[in-house]
Chain A
Amino acid sequence: MTTPTFGRLTDPPATVLLIGARLIDPGAGTDAVRDLGIVDGVLTTAGAVPPGAERIEARGWVVAPGFCDLHTHLRQPGGEEAETVASGTRAAAHGGFTTVCAMPNTEPPLDTPARVTAVLAAATDAAARVRVIAAATARRAGMTSSDVTALLDVGAIGVSDDGASVADPDVVRELLHALGPDHPLIEHAEDASLVAGGVMRAGATAARLGLRGWPPEAEVRIVERDVALARATGGWVHVTHLSTAAALDVVRRARADGVRVTCDVTPHHLALADDWIGGERTFAWEDPDGEPKLPGAAYDGTCRVNPPLTTREDARALLAAVADGTIDAIATDHAPHQQHRKLVPFADAAPGLIGLETALSLGLAAVAAGRLPLATLLDALSTRPARLLGEQRGLTDGTAADLVAFDPSASWVVEREALASASWNTPLLGRKLPGVVRLTVANGRVTYRS
């Protein structure tokens, strides 16, 4: 294995021949082993690659369309000690992502066209395409809606007050009218009045640990409200980081009724569970090991996240809903934080964990456990989220190369030195995970290679 290198979207387009890879294109429904050529950044048959071009031995690797993350915190502006557009997009490239959607809860928030434009400008030479989700309300204060038309005009793909719900239903209605059917209100579904200081999912583990419980009704209530408003307005609600089986049922019923509601789930709500806060470290689809935990294992601030890690039962329901297609996408909610914001008592820890670089590996662990077909995982990471943004994904000859190549049988250890993110707040630190990304190509440019 060579030392990892990163590229930029402004680099010259690639010309390379990948030999013997397994090509999975979920959009086209194809899965075949063959050679894949890239000439000047465009996919082509092997025969069209010039004889002198680089040849990469790719037998055993999987090649899939580039991943698309609907929920990324790049922390720029205002949180550059934790992450920047540059470091966050390198983390994306390392994780196989070619597109990330930057969340607007920066400091100041992305609530004006100028601030949206500034992030887009900072990303022109990044290691992944950056799309911007603008703030839904001025200063993210929830009181008055942003100037949606102006924000969409400069390229925002939708709006969100992520970190909180839009509390006022009149503001939600107004936003849905202004956004129309083609741009989503991306909702962090959490009724603050029901949460009332809860820091982990309510239930047996919270009772045992003596931590205040976060009731699932907090999520359900906002999803129900937003579904009703989407139905009434014809607008599009996208529920991000869905975490409860009960809210999932609301979404499922609404979609059956033809309401425009889509949703994503994070890798950590699929693979981790609330008992990780007690020191458990088995995946959600496994049985807990049931062994006493050593002092120091529990209450790790890196397990604090909003919405909180879910129960094993709900995590399994969410994974089943990815498998059956109810959930549109796996989105990371990559949330970098400096260590001093995590090295505090659990309830005081800043919520969120990094996810771009471990998303594929957690998904592959679920695939290895027989819980998810590989093509479905790749569809939920690439083609389906990209389609929500109007981006094309595929491995068709003649289109721009936008892909990830990974070795599913190799593994890596999550450690600070192995991460491209400027932060390392993840409870997976020190853990060996399956799946190593070998090559990421975004818009014809090599953005990551190892």
Chain B
Amino acid sequence: MISVPVVAASERRHVVDVEGWSRGEIERMLDRAEEMRAARASRLYRSLLEAETVGLAFFETSTRTRISFELAAKALGATVVDLQASSSSLSKGESLVDTLRTLERTGVTILVMRHASSGAPDLAVRSTGLRIVNGGDGTHAHPTQALLDALTLRERFGALDGRLIAIVGDVAHSRVARSNIHALQALGARVRVAGPEPWIAGFESWPGVETATTLADGIRDADAVMTLRVQLERDAAASIGSLDAYVDAWRLDEARMARWAAPDAPVLHPGPTNEGVELTADLANGPRSLIGRQVENGVPTRMAILATVAGAV
């Protein structure tokens, strides 16, 4: 028997990604999120993190993730400071590490950060004493999104063992997809990624991941379909021809779901959606959609994560 060192959840001082997390650790975090949902309503843990100062450093714009973290931190009684990253000293030429060290000196204890560069949270862990929670880094990881997605799917299916989850869209540039692959595989699900060839490049060699280059092959028999945001702001469609071509071949609608996916398969989206691009408005707002539930699960999941890195569980 080979003994593999496992980082116990209670020892986790940082959440940079869910890569390498055991099934047990993920399950415990989801259990804790359920507990936090109840605690948020009863205000049971309203003073749990009163000794902590949670800094929000979103070097890349975000609304829902930032607000979700802010509400989570406040629900646990933490002091919350929102670094207005775009107007901060960073834009005056100060390096990222200097900015983070300044935050540490001012008394921030837990830093939630989002950054356009893959690996920025690892740099923060290495170069400061802050406890780091990754709110999304480049095209690398978005662990809190993956955990709230896992929570949403677990609510729907109970266990995910053997369930086929299809992730559709610009997988290559998606931090959501990467973290979801790690979390879903750890929970026993099969993962298939699907998109135009340039958007799944490099994933053929990802252990255990199936790939598909048509929507039919991508979502066939899928128990759930997670579609990704087309990043129109960085002209993502240019690499695959045109946005119209993508919409024609890849947009999810009820007919396509009914034809290829498993019966009643739900649809997820990390948001914000480009309605009419990744999926139709009818689908996003219809009975298959778990998109609203994903948003609802954001705050309790992030409460669980903040409490964990604070060592308060």
Q: How far is the CA of A224 from the CA of B287 in the complex (A)?
A: 58
Q: How far is the CA of A206 from the CA of B178 in the complex (A)?
A: 12
Given contacts A293-B20, A295-B121, contact A203 B7 (CB under 8 A): no
On chain B, the residues within 8 Å of A347 by CB distance are 117-119, 138
The 16 listed contacts between A and B (C-beta, < 8 Å) are: A203-B202, A206-B202, A207-B202, A209-B140, A210-B139, A210-B175, A211-B118, A291-B20, A293-B20, A294-B7, A295-B14, A299-B119, A301-B123, A345-B120, A346-B119, A347-B119
Q: How far is the CA of A213 from the CA of B201 in the complex (A)?
A: 10
Within the complex, the shortest CB–CB distance from A434 to chain B, in Å, comes to 26
Is the CB of B96 closer than 8 A to any CB of chain A?
Answer: yes
| CB-based contact A210/B141 at 8 Å | yes
On chain A, the residues within 8 Å of B141 by CB distance are 210
Within 8 A of A (CB), among B113-143: 115, 117-123, 125-127, 132, 137-141
| CB-based contact B97/A343 at 8 Å | yes
Q: Which residues of B contact A (CB under 8 A)?
A: 4-5, 7, 13-17, 19-21, 95-97, 115, 117-123, 125-127, 132, 137-141, 172, 175, 178, 201-203, 205-206
On chain A, the residues within 8 Å of B118 by CB distance are 209-211, 299, 345-347
Chain B contact residues: helix, strand, loop or mixed: loop
Residue of A whose beta carbon sits closest to that of B16: A295
Residue from the list B121, B202, B203 in contact with A202, Cβ < 8 A: B202
Q: How far is the CA of A203 from the CA of B206 in the complex (A)?
A: 10
Q: How far is the CA of A340 from the CA of B203 in the complex (A)?
A: 34
On chain B, the residues within 8 Å of A300 by CB distance are 122, 126
Q: How far is the CA of A202 from the CA of B203 in the complex (A)?
A: 11
Which residue among A204, A291, A296, A346 has the maximum number of chain B CB atoms within 10 Å of its CB? A296
Which residue among B5, B13, B19, B127 has the maximum number of chain A CB atoms within 10 Å of its CB? B19
Given contacts A211-B118, A291-B4, A292-B20, contact A344 B123 (CB under 8 A): yes
On chain B, the residues within 8 Å of A209 by CB distance are 118-119, 140
| CB-based contact B19/A292 at 8 Å | yes
Is the CB of A297 closer than 8 A to any CB of chain B?
Answer: yes
Sorting the interface of chain A by its residue count into under 10, 10 to 19, 20 to 34 or 35 or more gives 20 to 34
Is the CB of A298 closer than 8 A to any CB of chain B?
Answer: yes
| CB-based contact B96/A344 at 8 Å | yes
| CB-based contact A345/B127 at 8 Å | no
Contact with B along A295-339 (1 / 0, CB 8 A): 111111100000000000000000000000000000000000000
On chain B, the residues within 8 Å of A213 by CB distance are 202
Contact with B along A182-216 (1 / 0, CB 8 A): 00000000000000000000111011111101000
Contact with B along A342-354 (1 / 0, CB 8 A): 0111111000000
Residue from the list A206, A292, A297, A340 in contact with B7, Cβ < 8 A: A292
On chain A, the residues within 8 Å of B97 by CB distance are 343-344
On chain A, the residues within 8 Å of B117 by CB distance are 345-348
